Amino acid sequence: MWLSWHGTELIREPVSLVVVRVEIRVLGAFRSSSGGAVDSLCFAGKPTVRDVILRLMEGRPELRSTLWDEAVGSPMPNALIMLGGVEVGNLEGLETAVPDGSQVLVLSVTHGG
């Protein structure tokens, strides 16, 4: 339900909330720092790959320190990120929209694990 003002009268309008469910698989060395191989996250609205990665790193400082490159503001130098089996560099990069029910896979490319 959504509340909005119309003149001085409060009108209740039914509004459908868009919820996007995304499955995240983490492979390679990021797996131990992410606390598991598979996670499922829900987003309101239309998330991008960037939104998914930022949410994945929330509360996981160890993962953030190895996945996210602060200097370029991106995880792309350290990881292969796939959306539905397609590497996101082949799409719109971090700005690629993530459809409901899709899978985002994050794979460490770092040598030594």
Sequence-ordered list of residues with C-beta below 8 angstroms from that of 92, at least 6 positions apart, any chain = none
User: CB 15 → other proteins: shortest distance, Å?
Assistant: 28
100/80 Cα distance (integer angstroms)? 21
User: CB 21 → other proteins: shortest distance, Å?
Assistant: 15
User: CB 60 → other proteins: shortest distance, Å?
Assistant: 15
Residue placing its CB nearer to other proteins in the complex, 10 or 71: 71
Output the six-digit token pair for 76. 């792309």
User: CB 102 → other proteins: shortest distance, Å?
Assistant: 7
| Cα–chain center distance at 46 | 11
What would you measure as the largest C-alpha separation in the chain, in angstroms? 65
User: Which residue ranges make up the site for other proteins (CB under 8 A)?
Assistant: 27-29, 31-32, 37, 66, 69, 71-72, 74, 76-78, 80, 82-87, 89-92, 96, 99, 102-103, 105, 107-113
Output the six-digit token pair for 96. 């690629």
Give residue 5's identity as a one-letter amino acid code.
W
Residue placing its CB nearer to other proteins in the complex, 55 or 102: 102
